[in-house]
A = this chain, B = another copy of it.
């Protein structure tokens, strides 16, 4: 499977991930912002993901719940600052297991000449310690698994 490119400078508040998908930008944007598709790709396969809220507009709330087979639940939520289809989304992100720790994500979709799309997500955290904690939690592996799943869905559409 493809790996996302990861830029993590020491002592920085930011993580930048980018990955190329073999599908046109409009389709990638549509699938990524569609509540129907989220359970099919968001998060690791071992969890069932439920979309509790997803109002894709400025000021809209989103909240996803991941449920494990052991009954454990993890929830995540945030708000959309801006939605510019099909090229950019700015939102906030909070893992409810670490309440009060919020990051801001800027997702950019770039159309490549051969019908592919480069998705870049920049995350800026409230502190460098928060950023380092997220890296240690295995965020990069989790994102790669999500993106692998997204790749599979895009191939069927």
Contact = CB atoms under 8 A, between A and B. Distances in A.
A103 B122 CA distance: 12
A2 interface: no
Given A14-B13, A58-B61, A81 B92 contact: yes
A90 interface: yes
A126 B11 CA distance: 15
Interface of A is mostly: strand
A60 interface: yes
Copies in the complex: 2
- A55, A78, A124: which has the most chain B beta carbons within 10 Å? A124
A103 B119 CA distance: 20
Given A11-B12, A79-B80, A81-B92, 6 more contacts: A13-B124, A81-B102, A82-B102, A90-B102, A106-B126, A124-B125
Interface of A: 11-14, 55, 58-61, 78-82, 88, 90, 92, 94, 100, 102-104, 106, 122, 124-127
16 contacts: A11-B11, A12-B12, A14-B127, A58-B79, A59-B60, A78-B81, A81-B92, A81-B94, A82-B102, A90-B92, A90-B102, A92-B92, A92-B104, A104-B124, A106-B126, A124-B124
